[in-house]
Structure 1
Amino acid sequence: MQVTETLNDGLKRGYTITLPAAELDAKVQEKLVEAQPEVAMKGFRKGKVPLSLLKKQFGPRVLGEAMQESIDGALSNHLEESGDRPAMQPEVKMANDDWKEGDDVEVTVAYEKLPEIPETDFSDIAIERLKVVADDAAIDEALGNLAETAQNFEDKDGAAEEGDQVVIDFLGKIDGEAFEGGAAEDYPLVLGSNSFIPGFEDGLKGVKAGDDKNVEVNFPEDYQAPNLAGKAAVFECKVKAVKAPQKAEIDDELAKKFGAEDLAGLKAQIAERLEAEYSGASRAVAKRKLLDILDEKVSFDLPPSLVEAEAKQIAHQLYHEEHPEDHGHDHGEIEPTDEHNKLAERRVKLGLLLAEIGQKGEIQVTDQELTQAILNQARQYRGQERQFFEFVQQNPQMRQQIQAPIFEDKVIDHILEQAKVDEKEVSKEDLQKAVEALDDEA
């Protein structure tokens, strides 16, 4: 077997692998001899079938297996000896398309290897980490929001306004005929909640308890029930009560509604939750600063194939974000822009760098960490948690997608442990501005 280099340009590599016919024939003979004891054929006892007959019967299949194994083995040995790590699956092609049994086998191999990534000293990296303390004002604001969610509605005199609750009996008709699902009694509807079709809630503004009101609306063209989509309807409404929202009292009773023993306990829970949110936001800002520094600090060649694939993925993703109505993938080729290519270069560089740092730092995602992350995602599929968990367990690509951000965060923590990190106490507003700046720069 002979491996000849044909291309050595930057990260691009090309080789010709030549497998002599004699070696291939010997490999076929070896596989047939190995299989002979287990083969039974009419007219022969098990293990006594002549090799010549085995070769006639199974030769073409065994030849293909031997050829594939030999080429795979040669490529594997080459990668081990050279230390090359292909950026993507190597492209292997037959060089002699007119090959026939008895000829030498010649294949071409082409790939881009991953670059040599330089050692990086993290001790000279300085990061400022923002810190926000959950003060009384923030806790009181959160308490006020909780009180609003726990609000009650009490009867009021006068007309219904935005935010009020009207209790109604209603009957919907199209062309004078009632339709299925268009009636209810004692239905509590908060005006402005947008829980009914457009125009319905606006039609009830100004009503009083005891009023009868016919509300005329048009069902949307894309309404989920095809028999109602785009049709004009009249809802005959009887207003039984009009109620105004009353914010719940901020006291021990409110605290108990949210699982705390008393108001002091609820405040402590809120403070803990707020500081966890602030800490998460602060870490996101620090992580972006660190990645920006690494992007500037470290330089190495990037595999063009990885950059091109990433740029296409970015262009495709952004296209669908800008065209949410286009759910298919038949929109044709989306040509990446210079901005897409620049972002792709950054992502590929940082991805390779973090992977290298993680490997050298022997950083791994534990089974427990991965399982917990899968369970956290499974909670988003209420009632189908088990099916989601089993799906992920059987899908290596899905597991990798869940594992990747965990690994990245552990590598970031590994770097921050070696960098100079100074805490700076700031206001909630300053932290919010820093987080918003991340979105502007994304």
Structure 2
Amino acid sequence: MKVRAEQQGKSKIKLTVGVEQGELVPHFQAAYDELAPTVKLAGFRPGKAPRKMVEDALGITRLVTRGLDMAVQRAYAEAVQQEKVFPVSAPSISVTQYPSWGLSKDEIKDSLEFEAEVEVFPEVELGDYKKVKVEATKTEKTADKDVEKVLHHLQRQKSKLIDTDQPAEKGDFVEIDFEGEHKGVKLDKMSSKHFPLVIGEGSMIPGFEDNLVGLKKGEEKTFQIKFPKDYHDKELAGQDAKFTVKVLQQKKVEKPELNDEFAKLYGHDKMSELKKAIGDNLQMELDHKGEHELQEKVLDKVLPLLKVEVPETVLHREVHRLMEQFDAQLKSQGVDLDSYLKSMKKDVAAFEKEIEPQAERNVKIGFLLGQIVKEQGWQGNEAEMGERAMKHLMDTVVKKADSNKE
């Protein structure tokens, strides 16, 4: 087998591969042995008919195609190994010379020649990151008010809804239909049917829930309100709007007392134990948050020391991974990506462009950690090596905060 490698830019290589007739024989034979048993010929058991009859039944084109698939796959793998190429994507293959069919060297006319263009692991240069220093910050501590907030959320989960004919108050549960108008036009995104909420919990824009106080089941109300300036929908941010609301259901919320009996509902004998468990979980979340923020600070300092040309295929793959991840998050909230993009007046191409910087950063982080693994001479599972490299980077760069300082 003959192989010629040509550099096509910093992260792409073209392999020109030639496979001689004798080298094709085992692949063509394997193709024949695979396909022959699929032919049913009267008077013969599968795979036992004369070769000429089998070839006529299958068609030479089918046999050659299968044989070449096998030959190209094997030859490409050997060429990559021979030239010490490290692909990061599937190759683009074009056959430039086709051989004829045959099961011996003499039968096959012409050799197989093909070109394979493939993006490869780029050259990576990493500056002296050991000179970089990042000051560690003290971890944020859980506040009592955060524990109380979780407790009240658990309390709401165990609350009972009691029918009432009294005017709605803050803390009451209501189910409403509402329609919103902006500049005299009713908008679907400002309207909903059978929408549940607890008055005063702030699930709607400021001022909306205040207008529900005093209403009874079956009553309607129309009111003017202004969207917050920082509202996520830029079309509505800071704008005046009109809403018409009808109360479909109204119930008093009967909350259980926060005592030891309540704690037992969540697997603890005493309220103090439940509070401690909540506090520990919240502290764990804060620790993870602080660690992540510190990692981001370190990466912000070290990534500029990395020189690498990101292969397009790798970048596109990461863009699509981020899109799928975002789509999954939206679906968990009952929204799909198409609906989200329509509401934001964007198309897929624009959204891909928007997340491309984050995708490029993610890919560069991968190359950074990979280079550290290479420099340290470590070997092992890719995920484990990545974690080890990040720990090494943090241990090297982070300057521990003085524990005596407040």
- TM-score, length basis structure 1: 0.56
* Counterpart residue number, 2:390: 412
Distance 2:174 2:3 in 1: 83
Secondary structure of 1:324's aligned partner: helix
Pairwise mapping of residues 226-241 of structure 1 onto structure 2 (< 5 A)?
none
Cα shift at 1:204: 6.1
Unaligned 5+ residue runs, structure 1? Answer: 171-181, 219-231, 366-403, 431-442
Q: Secondary structure at the match of 2:214?
A: coil
Q: Quick one: which of 131, 137, 145 aligns to 1:130?
A: 137
CA shift for structure 1 position 276 = 0.9
Say whether the 8 Å CA contact 1:204–1:213 is kept in structure 2. no
1:212-265 Cα deviation digits (max 9, x unpaired): 8751369xxxxxxxxxxxxx997799x9x989x99956x656655654333443
Partner of 1:17: 17
Which 10-residue stretch deviates more, 84-93 or 284-293?
Answer: 284-293
Given that 1:124 and 1:420 are in contact with CA atoms closer than 8 Å, whether structure 2 keeps it comes out as no
Q: Does 1:422 align with 2:374?
A: no
Partner residue of 1:345 out of 355, 360, 380: 360
Distance 1:191 1:274, change over 3 A: closer
User: Which secondary structure does the structure 2 equivalent of 1:150 belong to?
Assistant: helix
Q: CA RMSD in A?
A: 5.5
For residue 132 of structure 1, report the CA deviation from its aligned partner. 3.2
Corresponding residue number in structure 2 for 1:206: 214
> Is structure 2 residue 315 aligned with structure 1 residue 289?
no
- Once the two structures are overlaid, the 10-residue window that deviates more, 264-273 or 288-297, is 264-273
> Are residues 10 and 191 of structure 1, via their aligned partners in 2, closer, same or farther at CA, if it must alter by over 3 Å?
closer
Aligned-residue identity in percent: 21
Pair 1:139 & 2:140 matched: no
Partner residue in 1 for 2:186: none
In structure 2, the residue corresponding to 1:16 is in which secondary structure? strand
The separation in 2 between residues aligned to 1:45 and 1:252, in whole angstroms, is: 79
* Structure 2 CA distance for aligned equivalents of residues 323 and 268 of structure 1: 42
Name the counterpart of 1:65: 66
Does the CA-based 8 Å contact 1:294-1:350 persist in structure 2?
A: no
Distance change (3 Å), C-alpha of 1:315 and 1:329: farther
**Residue 130 of structure 1: SS of its match in structure 2?**
coil
**What is the match of residue 340 of structure 2?**
324
Instruction: Pick closer, same or farther for the CA change 1:257–1:307 going to 2, 3 Å.
Output: closer
- Which of the numbers 216, 219, 244 marks the counterpart of 2:220? 216
3-state SS, counterpart of residue 95 of structure 1: strand
Q: What aligned pairs does 1:314-393 form with structure 2 within 5 A after superposition?
A: 324=340, 326=342, 331=347, 333-334=349-350, 342-355=357-370, 357=372, 361-362=378-379, 364=381
SS of the residue 1:87 aligns to: coil
Instruction: Say yes or no: does 1:4 pair with 2:12.
Output: no
Residues 287 and 35 from structure 1, CA distance in 2 versus in 1: closer, same or farther, beyond 3 angstroms? same
One-letter amino acid of the counterpart of residue 216, structure 1: E
Pair 335,16 (structure 1): closer, same or farther in 2 beyond 3 Å: farther
C-alpha deviation, 1:89, in angstroms: 0.7
Please give the alpha-carbon distance, in whole angstroms, between the structure 2 residues aligned to 1:327 and 1:355: 39
User: How far off its partner does 1:285 sit?
Assistant: 0.9
Answer whether contact 2:20 2:111 (CA < 8 A) is retained: yes
1:91/1:57 Cα in 2 relative to 1: closer, same or farther (>3 Å)? same
Question: Could you state the TM-score of these two structures normalised by the residue count of structure 2?
Answer: 0.60
Q: Tell me the secondary structure at the aligned position of residue 206 of structure 1.
A: coil
**Aligned partner of residue 342 in structure 2, secondary structure:** coil
Q: Tell me the alpha carbon deviations over residues 36-87 of structure 1, each in whole angstroms, 9 at most, x when there is no partner.
A: 8999854567876444444444444332222122221111111112221112
Aligned to 1:88: 89
The corresponding residue for 2:188 is none
Alignment of 1:160-175 (within 5 A): 160=167, 162-165=169-172
Q: Does 1:110 align with 2:114?
A: no
| Count of aligned positions | 342
Q: Distance in 1 between matches of 2:110 and 2:68?
A: 12
Displacement of 1:114 after TM fit?
0.6
What corresponds to 2:311 in structure 1? Answer: 303
Q: Distance in 2 between matches of 1:242 and 1:26?
A: 80
Cα deviation 1:288-334 (Å, max 9, x = unaligned): 12222331233233324433555687799999989725289994744
Q: Which amino acid aligns with 1:324?
A: Y
Structure 2 residue runs of 5 or longer lacking an equivalent are 102-108, 177-192, 223-243, 328-335
Q: Distance in 2 between matches of 1:166 and 1:56?
A: 77
Counterpart in the other structure of 2:105: none
Contact preservation (8 Å) 1:147, 1:247: no
Q: Is contact 1:32–1:51 with CA below 8 Å preserved after alignment?
A: no
Q: Look up the SS of the partner of 1:326 in the other structure.
A: helix
